[in-house]
Amino acid sequence: MNKQPFAASVSVIVPAMNEAENLPHVFATLPDWIDEVILIDGNSTDDTVAVARRLRPGLRVVVQTRRGKGNALIEGFQAARGDIIVMIDADGSTDGREIRSFVATLINGADFAKGSRYAPGGGSDDLSPIRSLGNRFLTGITNLLYGTRYTDLCYGYNAFWRRHLEVLDLDCDGFEIETLMNVRAAQAGLVIREVPSRERSRIHGTSNLHAVRDGWRVLRTIWRERSRGSAVTAHTQVALAK
């Protein structure tokens, strides 16, 4: 595996279902020093896999066995070989050029690098007022229950050391996967640093996210995880990456 510019290998996980039109834009932003890109195909009916393989020689493809973004990411994490795992979206909303900041944050001492659209330097071209309000509400509940100081709970741009997969013990299928990761990372006492990130609008197609349905699943996840283990004093560990 290529070790430059960091002394750790990096795997990028890209869950995708019918994203053939978006992949050229997404892959064009990926740094050339990434060691492996793993596409998790949700049984696409378009040319997603063929386009991805043409764009990225050496691409690894994992065909999803169930449904949902959470399941796709979990299967991608299990297949990853790199020391560091980065998760991005296939719709063009996450900018691969930001991967350097996430990886640098981990190299500089973090266990979990958490993207934030609300941190200074971050932002979003896609968040509607309703979704933003819901996200802030869910973030506030999480901070209250788990002693965290998160600014952005429901964002899918994150990176972490692969060695922490066991302690995260991920076991959900839907969009609540990001919330589950954030809560369990805090419960495990991992060093968490937020990385400012700019979310773009989806380039082509429509999102599978449903604000009310998926917001309810996130809320249930936040409440359910209280019984899994005692929360740690995580506010001393969540900080903005330098």
Cα–Cα distance measured from residue 53 to residue 24, given in angstroms and rounded to the nearest whole number: 11
What is the DSSP annotation of 142-184?
HHHHH----S-SS---EEEEGGGHHHH-----STTHHHHHHHH
User: Residues 14, 90: contact at Cβ < 8 Å?
Assistant: yes
Beta carbons of 89 and 164 less than 8 angstroms apart: no
Give me 144's structure tokens.
């209250």
At 131 the pLDDT is: 81
pLDDT tens, 178-232?
A: 999 999 999 999 999 999 999 998 786 565 555 556 667 888 899 899 877 654 4
Higher pLDDT among residues 158 and 215, named by residue: 158
Q: Please say whether the dihedral angle defined by the alpha carbons of residues 117, 122, 126 and 129, taken in this order, is positive or negative.
A: positive
Q: What is the pTM of this model?
A: 0.89
